[in-house]
Amino acid sequence: MTLGLVTTTLALHAPSQIAAAMKIRASQRGFSVVISMLDENLPEACHAAVDNLLAQRVDGVLINVPLEEEEAERLAQRCHPLPTLFLDVGPQARVSSLVFDAFAGARLAVEHMLALGRRRIALLAGPQNAVSARLRHDGWLAALSQADLEPCAVAQGDWSAASGYQQCHALLASRPEAIIVANDQMALGVLRACAERGINVPEALSVIGYDDTADSAWYSPPLTTIRQNFRELGEQAVDGLVAGLTQPPGAGQRVLPVSLVERRTTA
Ligand code: IPT
């Protein structure tokens, strides 16, 4: 039996580690995985990728592409009666989905900075056309406002280290004591920008990422981050889809927990 995976670009660390985790679990369960990767997250491209997998007669479809509710619902209908599982949709989408708790992740990052006594907090968000980036951003603002705070600056990157580097220079103008970053790759760029400007992390500036990708413990200094357990996501996604082969999965969102991993970029 064969599972299809439609994924956003595998040039990014998180989606490639998620795909690897799915492949490992599928092999353990005797399934193969066919991957269709999008160069750009456009709805038409996602439809074409799904059609491509259906033409290859896959038995179920995993979709790790940020999708608005309506698009996800249209794709699920297109795949019907095959089981589909979405990994990057909002809670309102009437499809079967498995996602990490973005709100809890955002709150953990803010609370960590507040506990360290940091008050001038800047935010480096992900691309706002991605559901997960918006949820993290909204979660940060909510957690800050609970503490009667507003961010001292907000910038937006595209998930890449290069964008983190560029946007960090803009954020530093507001003299933050902390920068909360929407993913580890952008945090890598932030650390480089700080090193070049002679800003000591964590003494002068605390930095936290999001993902805990496999390389994040090897950054310099090792990165404090919010851990999304991609191995667990891969296992549960494959197991959930396989269960859907015999028993159609209901529409609904399952949420996986995230956790704070304290390393050496925050103090
Ligand atoms: C999300 C990652 O956190 C982020 O770093 C980026 O790689 C993004 O994917 C790409 O779409 S994780 C996703 C399951 C919400």
CA of 211 to the centre of ligand 1 (A): 8
| Confidence category of residue 58, pLDDT binned at 50, 70, 90 | very high
Q: Which CATH class is domain 2-100+228-257?
A: alpha beta
Q: Which residues contact 145 (CB under 8 A, 6 or more apart)?
A: none
Mean predicted lDDT score pLDDT of the chain: 97
Can you give the residue ranges of every domain in the chain? 2-100+228-257, 102-227
Q: Which atom of ligand 1 is nearest to the CA of 14?
A: 7
Overall average pLDDT of the 187-216 stretch: 98
Which of 12, 129, 188 for a ligand 1 pocket mutation test, highest count of atoms within 8 Å of Cβ? 12
List pocket residues of ligand 1, CB cut-off 6 Å.
8, 12, 14-15, 64, 66, 87-88, 130, 132, 159, 183, 210-211
Helices 69-79 and 43-55 meet at what angle, rounded to 10? 20
CA of 128 to the centre of ligand 1 (A): 12
For residues 240 and 251, the model is more confident at: 240
Looking at residue 174, its pLDDT comes to 97
Looking at residue 70, its pLDDT comes to 96
Give 72-109 pLDDT, tens digit per residue.
999 999 999 999 999 999 999 999 999 999 999 999 99
Domains 2-100+228-257 and 102-227 belong to one CATH topology: yes
CA of 15 to the centre of ligand 1 (A): 6
Q: Which atom of ligand 1 is nearest to the CA of 99?
A: 14
Give 125-137 pLDDT, tens digit per residue.
999 999 999 999 9
ipTM computed for the complex: 0.99
Return the CATH fold of 102-227.
Rossmann fold (3.40.50)
Q: Which atom of ligand 1 is nearest to the CA of 131?
A: 15
| Confidence category of residue 251, pLDDT binned at 50, 70, 90 | confident
CA of 88 to the centre of ligand 1 (A): 8
